[in-house]
Amino acid sequence: MTVPETESSDPATAELDAWGDHAILQVLWQGQLAAAAAVGPALPAIAAAAGAAVGRLESGGRLAYAGAGTSGRIAAQDGAELLPTFDWPEDRLLLLVAGGAAALLRAVENAEDEAGQATRLIADHALDACDVLIAVAASGATPFTLACLDAAKEAGALTIGIANSLDAPLLQQADHAILVQTGAEPIAGSTRMKAGTAQKIVLNLLSTLLMLRLGRVYRGQMVDMRAGNAKLRARAERMLAGLTGCTDVAARMALAAADGKVKLALLLLEGLDRTAAEALLARHHGRIRPALAELHASR
């Protein structure tokens, strides 16, 4: 029986439980550094996957994440954070986790074998050619995750597979394969360690690149963030003042007139009324940089 790389044992840590605390922490820390370094060779694959996904998402497609266990929770975390950080629409985000919402807080180990549940989820959500599915599995062989990817691909969705084992079925079947070869864990099979760290980094990079290419970042600022509390409202004011050079009072007034939307407020400060500002942003699919370029070129 072939064992995935992520399930193999590392002879170097066979006596780990007999070591002193400092030695244990040293080797665990080194493993985390190695996991981060393992992402480097995957950067071209991450860029290619993002490039293929942007057009579908720009046209109104949904972004779906699929996974089980640790991988499912890491994937769900990445997806959930897109809403407040980049104002990604909630109705265009799908978090497909084996075992459902309960599995986000506690292990539902048998759920990862439920390929039938995965197929039903894809059908129930009616994924199609407009959508993008990111499937994550350390071994790349989890039945639930594979079934999600296969069903989504059959429905015409773009599929991106992220795995930590060479020759993983998930990578072979995905439209875009992202391999992060982290090897054996210091505690055999504990993929919450190196594999999980690498998965989180890949998802951070991939989703952030997508949001950048979709115009949800401008001059290094989260110009589409949801300012849902006092801290974030203050951040939005500082952001607007920094981007335009306006006073704090002017920033506060513009944001109030724009219902807290930084990009819209920025155009109001440029002298446009709300209708014209919204139309200009719409022409550029919400991207503030080309919108400003058109506005300045017309003056």
**Quick one: which of 99, 158, 159, 151 has its CA closest to 126?**
151
Q: Using one digit for the tens of pLDDT, what is the confidence trace for 171-212?
A: 999 999 999 999 989 889 889 999 999 999 999 999 999 999
Domains of the chain: 5-213 (3.40.50.10490), 230-297 (1.10.8.1080)
CA–CA distance, 116 with 213 (Å, rounded to integer): 35
Assess whether 112 carries a catalytic annotation: yes
> Do 112 and 98 meet the contact criterion of CB atoms below 8 Å apart?
yes
Confidence check: pLDDT of 255 > 90: yes
Q: Give the model's pLDDT for residue 100.
A: 82
Q: Using one digit for the tens of pLDDT, what is the confidence trace for 262-291?
A: 999 999 999 999 999 999 999 999 999 999
Confidence check: pLDDT of 107 > 90: no
- Candidate list 112, 114, 185, 237, residue with the active-site label: 112
- Candidate list 7, 58, 81, 278, residue with the active-site label: 81
Assess whether 109 carries a catalytic annotation: no
Q: What is the pTM of this model?
A: 0.93
279-292 burial, b for 16+ CB within 10 Å, e for fewer? ebbeeeebbbeebb
Confidence check: pLDDT of 299 > 90: no
Instruction: Report the largest interatomic distance among the alpha carbons of the chain, rounded to a whole angstrom.
Output: 73
Residue with tokens 């970042």: 217
